[in-house]
Amino acid sequence: PADPFAFVLAGLGSLTFWQPSLAVVLLWIAALPLAALGAWWAAAGLVQRRGPAAAVAVVVALAPAVTVALLDGRLPALVALLALPWLVASAARAPRSWSATAVAGLLVAVIAASSPSLLIALAVVWIAWMAATPRRIGRLLTLAVPTAALFAPLVVAQLQRGTPLGLLADPGLPAQPAETAPTGLLLGWPDLALVLEPVTALLPAGTEPTVLAVALAVLVAPLPLLALLGLAQRSARRVVLPFVMAGAGLALAVLVSGIAVVAADGTAIRIDTAPALGLYWLGLALAAGVALDGLRRAGTIPGLVAVLGAALAVSPALIAAVAGGTVVHPAPDRTLPAIVAADAVADERIGTLVLTPLEGGDALAARVERGAGSMLIDARSYPVTVGAALAGPEQEAPADDASALIAELAANLAVRSGLDVGPLLDEADVRFVLLADRSRATGAQTPPAAAAGVAAALDSTAQLVAVGDTDAGRLWRVVADDEARAAIAARPATAWAVLVGQLGILALTLLLAVPTGYRPRRVRAEEGTIDDPATTFAEDEDD
């Protein structure tokens, strides 16, 4: 089954349908303004003055989680972080507006699809919300409909296989997040090294990292102090929800920081904590905004201090990124050799078995790529959740038929087993075998003896003909009869029915999200107040 994030990618790529990848580039450019705008709308429902709303917008845009997602190239985490403030703005009006309810339901689906682990915190808030407003339970239950529709196929597949924890896997290509530290989690940093290493390089040798961590804590301290100040004001009830958000985000980050539900290339991949820490930071920023709003003019200086502290805290990471210290760069046009891409013009479902010797030389990673190479829309979390990350050291992890077939084929190709691999190649519909050069992709070195042993075994396989060295590694062509090769199974009718049902639910929700009433003109009660930009309907109007 496809990940729900595939729907998010489809919607994002449709914005620039003539070149879908351009939408990702534009999102990276507009990420900070979008984060600030979403935070402004979220704060507008809690504050009355422009200054506190602007302070919240800047602080959220400079959130460490957003910075790390941008610098590490984590698209799903970035989408979830950008959607969180908009969810807060729409959820505030959901109890009295069906349109806002539909918008909130769509945003929950986007956030859950981009960061499934974040759904745990959202579910806790959702249940508490229904308990606090029992008269609106029927309406609030509909918030889960789009998310349930997107996740249903994956939930069924993971439960049938006995790997329910696989539902928490981050979508997209498996990528190991940075090691998390308690200090980093408390300060809202998924990767504390991004901010400490650039500063350390400028300081004299022998500077204690603890000193830098304390300095970073001093810069961040005004934000939680202002949030706590909101509890001592008459508007304390308005900071309850932000504090619940902050607490849920921090607790979730601590919970998932040590959990690995994905295994890729022999390595257990931990869950990314950036979305959870983004929720934590957003809650603190909204609570601080309420406190600044209660202070009136006296809150100008504290607000400037909080904004300046947040800017100084992330500036080392941003400056290092501008200087070329980021992993984000233009991707190659293809991930497979040119000869494979040329054949893929005639058959875009052509299969290539990619074998990658792992570090140490005693293990081999194997995957099948279709066409000219893998694309982000083709990424699936279901296959990569089959591995040691889900099983104990003495427990064998479950495997599906496709993974077992690839494992059997790779094992018999990597050594001289004497088995006729022709039927396995036909069943997997593989036409090329690539022995990838791991050092070109990751910089890690594989012992030459290991690669030479696999290459010798492939050379001795009767069904393979060596093509030669390419820019991606050494390539062999399968000489099996094309007519005997098994065709890729057609998509069953039930899969089409599920897809039509999912699209139908999303279309109906989107139609319901369109406002049907006019926006009333609001009159400022006093100079310095703001028109709530998130208000579409009057408070007594139920559309």
pLDDT at 402: 75
Confirm if 288 and 39 have CB atoms less than 8 A apart: no
Confirm if 455 and 474 have CB atoms less than 8 A apart: yes
Element (H, E) at 370: strand 364-370
At residue 455, φ and ψ (nearest 5 deg) are -60, -40
Confirm if 19 and 169 have CB atoms less than 8 A apart: no
Q: What angle do CA 148, 154, 160 make, to 5 degrees?
A: 115
Confirm if 198 and 209 have CB atoms less than 8 A apart: no
What is the spatial distance between Cα 51 and Cα 56, in angstroms, rounded to a whole number?
Answer: 9
What is the spatial distance between Cα 426 and Cα 433, in angstroms, rounded to a whole number?
Answer: 13
Q: Let me know if 390 is exposed, middle or buried by CB neighbors in 10 A (0-12, 13-18, 19+).
A: buried
pLDDT at 417: 75
> Which parts of 404-472 are beta strand (E)?
432-436, 464-470
Q: What angle do CA 79, 83, 89 make, to 5 degrees?
A: 175
What is the spatial distance between Cα 451 and Cα 189, in angstroms, rounded to a whole number?
Answer: 39
Residue 360 in tokens: 């140490």
Q: Closest Cα partner for 97 from 147, 47, 136?
A: 136
At residue 97, φ and ψ (nearest 5 deg) are -145, 120
List of the chain residues with pLDDT < 70: 206-207, 325, 360-361, 386-400, 438-450, 480-492, 517-543
pLDDT at 386: 61
Q: Is 398 left (phi over 0), alpha (psi -120 to 50) or beta?
A: beta
For residue range 218-277, list pLDDT tens digits in order.
999 999 999 999 888 887 788 888 998 999 999 999 999 988 888 877 788 899 999 999
pLDDT at 206: 65
Helix H, strand E, coil C: the string for 265-330 is CCEEEECCCHHHHHHHHHHHHHHHHHHHHHHHHHHHHHHHHHHHHHHHHHHHHHHHHHCCCCCCCC
Residue 225 in tokens: 């102090």
Confirm if 34 and 83 have CB atoms less than 8 A apart: no
Largest CA distance in the chain: 86
Amino acid found at 510: L
What is the spatial distance between Cα 52 and Cα 359, in angstroms, rounded to a whole number?
Answer: 52
pLDDT at 517: 61
pLDDT at 284: 95
pLDDT at 397: 46
CA atoms within 13 A on the CB side of 451: 16
pLDDT at 481: 54
pLDDT at 362: 74
Q: Is the dihedral of CA 211, 213, 214, 215 positive or negative?
A: positive
> Under 8 Å CB-to-CB from 163, ≥6 apart: which residues?
385, 386, 390, 398
What is the spatial distance between Cα 96 and Cα 20, in angstroms, rounded to a whole number?
Answer: 37
Confirm if 143 and 110 have CB atoms less than 8 A apart: no
C-beta atoms surrounding 95 within 10 Å: 15
CA distances, 212 to each of 189, 199, 201, 215, 281 (Å): 14, 8, 12, 5, 20
- Calculate the CA 221 to chain-centre distance: 28
